[in-house]
A = this chain, B = another copy of it.
Protein backbone atom coordinates (compact mmCIF):
# COMPACT_ATOMS: atom_id res chain seq x y z
CA UNK A 1 0.00 0.00 0.00
CA UNK A 2 0.94 3.64 -0.30
CA UNK A 3 1.23 5.94 2.70
CA UNK A 4 -1.94 7.61 1.55
CA UNK A 5 -3.87 4.34 1.46
CA UNK A 6 -2.56 3.32 4.87
CA UNK A 7 -3.84 6.58 6.28
CA UNK A 8 -7.31 5.93 4.88
CA UNK A 9 -7.37 2.39 6.22
CA UNK A 10 -6.32 3.50 9.68
CA UNK A 11 -8.83 6.33 9.72
CA UNK A 12 -11.62 4.02 8.69
CA UNK A 13 -11.50 0.49 10.00
CA UNK A 14 -8.87 1.05 12.66
CA UNK A 15 -10.01 4.32 14.19
CA UNK A 16 -11.12 2.47 17.34
CA UNK A 17 -7.65 0.98 17.65
CA UNK A 18 -5.11 3.65 16.82
CA UNK A 19 -4.58 6.62 14.53
CA UNK A 20 -1.82 8.15 12.47
CA UNK A 21 -1.05 11.52 10.92
CA UNK A 22 1.18 11.95 7.90
CA UNK A 23 3.78 13.52 10.17
CA UNK A 24 4.19 10.13 11.81
CA UNK A 25 3.30 7.89 8.92
CA UNK A 26 5.82 8.96 6.27
CA UNK A 27 8.86 9.14 8.56
CA UNK A 28 7.93 5.70 9.91
CA UNK A 29 7.77 4.23 6.41
CA UNK A 30 11.18 5.73 5.65
CA UNK A 31 12.59 4.21 8.82
CA UNK A 32 11.15 0.79 8.01
CA UNK A 33 12.69 1.04 4.56
CA UNK A 34 16.10 1.86 6.11
CA UNK A 35 15.76 -1.14 8.40
CA UNK A 36 14.84 -3.40 5.51
CA UNK A 37 11.45 -4.29 6.94
CA UNK A 38 9.66 -3.01 3.85
CA UNK A 39 10.54 -2.49 0.21
CA UNK A 40 9.12 0.10 -2.15
CA UNK A 41 8.06 0.25 -5.77
CA UNK A 42 7.48 3.61 -7.41
CA UNK A 43 4.56 3.96 -9.79
CA UNK A 44 4.84 7.15 -11.87
CA UNK A 45 1.63 9.10 -12.37
CA UNK A 46 0.62 12.09 -14.44
CA UNK A 47 -0.14 15.29 -12.60
CA UNK A 48 0.72 14.07 -9.10
CA UNK A 49 3.68 12.66 -7.18
CA UNK A 50 4.68 9.11 -8.03
CA UNK A 51 2.78 6.62 -5.91
CA UNK A 52 5.11 4.68 -3.64
CA UNK A 53 3.79 1.22 -3.01
CA UNK A 54 5.27 -0.30 0.11
CA UNK A 55 5.37 -4.02 0.73
CA UNK A 56 6.56 -5.93 3.77
CA UNK A 57 9.72 -8.03 3.31
CA UNK A 58 10.53 -11.47 4.67
CA UNK A 59 12.62 -9.80 7.38
CA UNK A 60 9.78 -7.41 8.18
CA UNK A 61 7.29 -10.22 8.47
CA UNK A 62 9.63 -12.07 10.80
CA UNK A 63 9.96 -9.01 13.03
CA UNK A 64 6.20 -8.50 12.95
CA UNK A 65 5.65 -12.05 14.16
CA UNK A 66 8.11 -11.49 17.02
CA UNK A 67 6.32 -8.30 18.01
CA UNK A 68 2.92 -9.97 17.88
CA UNK A 69 4.11 -12.65 20.31
CA UNK A 70 5.12 -10.09 22.93
CA UNK A 71 2.38 -9.27 25.45
CA UNK A 72 0.41 -6.22 24.33
CA UNK A 73 1.04 -2.89 26.05
CA UNK A 74 -1.76 -1.60 28.26
CA UNK A 75 -4.44 0.47 26.55
CA UNK A 76 -3.86 4.17 26.44
CA UNK A 77 -7.16 5.89 26.87
CA UNK A 78 -8.15 9.48 27.42
CA UNK A 79 -11.85 10.19 27.71
CA UNK A 80 -12.44 13.87 28.20
CA UNK A 81 -16.18 13.30 28.33
CA UNK A 82 -15.86 11.06 31.38
CA UNK A 83 -13.55 13.52 33.06
CA UNK A 84 -16.20 16.20 32.64
CA UNK A 85 -18.80 13.86 34.09
CA UNK A 86 -16.53 13.32 37.07
CA UNK A 87 -16.40 17.07 37.65
CA UNK A 88 -20.10 17.59 36.96
CA UNK A 89 -21.02 18.77 40.43
CA UNK A 90 -19.62 22.13 39.29
CA UNK A 91 -22.18 22.25 36.52
CA UNK A 92 -25.88 23.20 36.49
CA UNK A 93 -28.19 20.26 35.72
CA UNK A 94 -29.15 21.72 32.35
CA UNK A 95 -25.54 21.84 31.13
CA UNK A 96 -24.96 18.31 32.36
CA UNK A 97 -27.92 17.05 30.34
CA UNK A 98 -26.60 18.86 27.26
CA UNK A 99 -23.17 17.29 27.74
CA UNK A 100 -24.61 13.79 27.95
CA UNK A 101 -27.02 14.38 25.05
CA UNK A 102 -24.14 15.45 22.81
CA UNK A 103 -22.21 12.34 23.78
CA UNK A 104 -25.22 10.16 23.05
CA UNK A 105 -25.53 11.77 19.63
CA UNK A 106 -21.87 11.11 18.87
CA UNK A 107 -22.12 7.53 20.07
CA UNK A 108 -25.21 6.96 17.92
CA UNK A 109 -23.36 8.32 14.90
CA UNK A 110 -20.38 6.05 15.58
CA UNK A 111 -22.72 3.09 15.98
CA UNK A 112 -24.31 3.79 12.60
CA UNK A 113 -20.87 4.16 10.98
CA UNK A 114 -19.76 0.86 12.45
CA UNK A 115 -22.90 -0.95 11.25
CA UNK A 116 -22.41 0.48 7.77
CA UNK A 117 -18.74 -0.50 7.67
CA UNK A 118 -19.56 -3.94 8.99
CA UNK A 119 -21.91 -4.52 6.06
CA UNK A 120 -19.27 -3.24 3.64
CA UNK A 121 -16.46 -5.47 4.85
CA UNK A 122 -18.15 -8.59 6.26
CA UNK A 123 -17.33 -10.65 3.18
CA UNK A 124 -13.84 -9.34 2.55
CA UNK A 125 -11.43 -9.03 5.48
CA UNK A 126 -12.21 -11.27 8.49
CA UNK A 127 -9.61 -9.46 10.62
CA UNK A 128 -11.28 -6.16 9.96
CA UNK A 129 -14.67 -7.68 10.75
CA UNK A 130 -13.26 -8.85 14.08
CA UNK A 131 -12.15 -5.38 15.11
CA UNK A 132 -15.45 -3.96 13.90
CA UNK A 133 -17.36 -6.48 15.99
CA UNK A 134 -15.35 -5.59 19.08
CA UNK A 135 -15.89 -1.89 18.53
CA UNK A 136 -19.61 -2.49 18.06
CA UNK A 137 -19.88 -4.41 21.32
CA UNK A 138 -18.22 -1.66 23.34
CA UNK A 139 -20.15 1.04 21.51
CA UNK A 140 -23.46 -0.64 22.31
CA UNK A 141 -22.46 -0.99 25.96
CA UNK A 142 -21.68 2.73 26.14
CA UNK A 143 -24.99 3.53 24.46
CA UNK A 144 -26.87 1.48 27.06
CA UNK A 145 -25.01 3.18 29.88
CA UNK A 146 -25.73 6.66 28.51
CA UNK A 147 -29.45 5.93 28.15
CA UNK A 148 -29.64 4.58 31.69
CA UNK A 149 -27.78 7.59 33.00
CA UNK A 150 -30.15 9.98 31.25
CA UNK A 151 -33.12 8.11 32.73
CA UNK A 152 -31.62 8.27 36.20
CA UNK A 153 -30.91 12.00 36.28
CA UNK A 154 -34.18 12.98 34.66
CA UNK A 155 -36.12 11.05 37.27
CA UNK A 156 -34.41 13.02 40.08
Residues of A within 8 A of B (CB): 14, 16-18, 61, 64-65, 68-69, 71-91, 95, 99, 102-103, 106, 127-128, 130-131, 133-134, 137-138, 140-142, 144-145, 149
- Residues of chain B within 8 A of A87, CB atoms compared: 64, 68, 127
CB distance from A32 to the nearest CB of B (A): 15
In the assembled complex, the Cα of A131 lies from the Cα of B86 at a distance in Å of 6
Are A72 and B99 closer than 8 Å at their CB atoms?
A: yes
One complex includes copies of this chain to the number of 2
- Among B18, B80, B95, B149, the residue within 8 A (CB) of A72 is B80
CB distance from A20 to the nearest CB of B (A): 11
In the assembled complex, the Cα of A44 lies from the Cα of B83 at a distance in Å of 32
Nearest neighbor of A76 in chain B, beta-carbon distance: B78
Known A89-B127, A137-B141, A137-B145: A17·B83 in contact at CB below 8 Å: yes
Are B75 and A77 closer than 8 Å at their CB atoms?
A: yes
CB distance from A73 to the nearest CB of B (A): 5
